[in-house]
């Protein structure tokens, strides 16, 4: 797959200090020493977008990340001053991030707070209460359901741990549709609509979209709020699940 050809910059906002994009699913945020492949950073450079130095040569302008298969809103710093300010806001949990997730099952309760630490184990993230675990907090509410089999859930993350939403929703018995790591082995019930069965079977990525972000402008401290339109594949999955 040649991501250079299929991915175009979807700019939501840009000024001299920062740029906000609607990221496509299927492209990584940045490469690193162990993963050398085409990334969103490369796409920005190809479009002559100047980025801050960032933390290292692999992460110019990167103040947060989205998983490869997650679509939606993402922010990059164009200047070092903006980078410092934005990183501080993320560190202090001053950035509001809202996601929509399509999942197996219905969480109980249908809305609430998940405050369960996350740690790494054999290359996967899992809930854990060991000393090496990191605090992870997710607020969630169920927006729509289909026959107690599938749900559309809105998540607001107060921390930014890797795979946080995926692992936290798994802890509620509701892994993301299409999640190749945390939803493996999930099977459709016999009485599930065949159209839904076929669509989910062929759905190629985890059904998670970064919908909204709110933060302070790094220079004038004005409140910035941005939305990222859901991609066609996500909208189509919603339609298939909830059209009845």
Block means of pLDDT (10 residues each) for the chain, 244 residues, are: 59 98 96 86 95 91 96 98 98 97 96 90 54 86 94 96 92 94 77 86 95 98 98 96 80
The per-residue pLDDT for 244 is 60
Residues taking part in catalysis: 67
What is the fold of 3-242? Pseudouridine synthase (3.30.2350)
The per-residue pLDDT for 3 is 45
Q: How far apart are CA 141 and CA 98, in angstroms?
A: 11
Contacts from 61-66 at CB under 8 Å and sequence distance 24+?
61/19, 62/29, 62/30, 63/87, 63/90, 64/90, 64/95, 64/160, 65/29, 65/30, 66/23, 66/29, 66/210
Beta strands at 223-227 and 96-104: parallel, antiparallel or unpaired: unpaired
The per-residue pLDDT for 243 is 77
């Amino acid at each position: 797959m040649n991501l250079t050809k299929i991915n175009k910059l979807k700019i939501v906002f840009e000024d001299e200090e920062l740029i906000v994009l609607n990221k496509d699913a299927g492209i990584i945020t940045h490469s690193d020493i162990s993963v050398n492949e085409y990334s969103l950073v490369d796409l920005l450079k190809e479009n002559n977008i100047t980025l801050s130095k960032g933390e290292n040569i692999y992460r110019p302008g990167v103040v947060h990340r989205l998983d490869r298969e997650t679509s939606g809103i993402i922010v990059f710093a164009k200047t070092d001053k903006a980078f410092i300010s934005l990183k501080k806001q993320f560190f202090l949990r001053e950035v509001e991030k809202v996601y929509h997730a399509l999942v197996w099952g219905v969480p109980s309760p249908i809305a609430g707070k998940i405050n369960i630490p996350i740690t790494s184990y054999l290359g996967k993230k899992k809930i854990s209460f060991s000393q090496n675990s990191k605090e992870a907090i997710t607020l969630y509410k169920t927006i729509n359901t289909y026959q107690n089999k599938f749900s559309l859930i809105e998540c607001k993350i107060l921390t930014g741990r890797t795979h946080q939403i995926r692992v936290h929703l798994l802890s509620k018995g509701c892994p993301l549709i299409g999640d190749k790591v945390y939803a493996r082995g999930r099977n459709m019930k016999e009485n599930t609509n065949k159209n839904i069965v076929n669509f989910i079977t062929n759905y190629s990525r985890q059904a998670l979209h970064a919908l909204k972000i709110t933060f302070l402008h790094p220079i004038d401290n004005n409140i910035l709020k941005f939305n990222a339109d859901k991609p066609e594949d996500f909208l189509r999955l919603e339609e298939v699940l909830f059209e009845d």
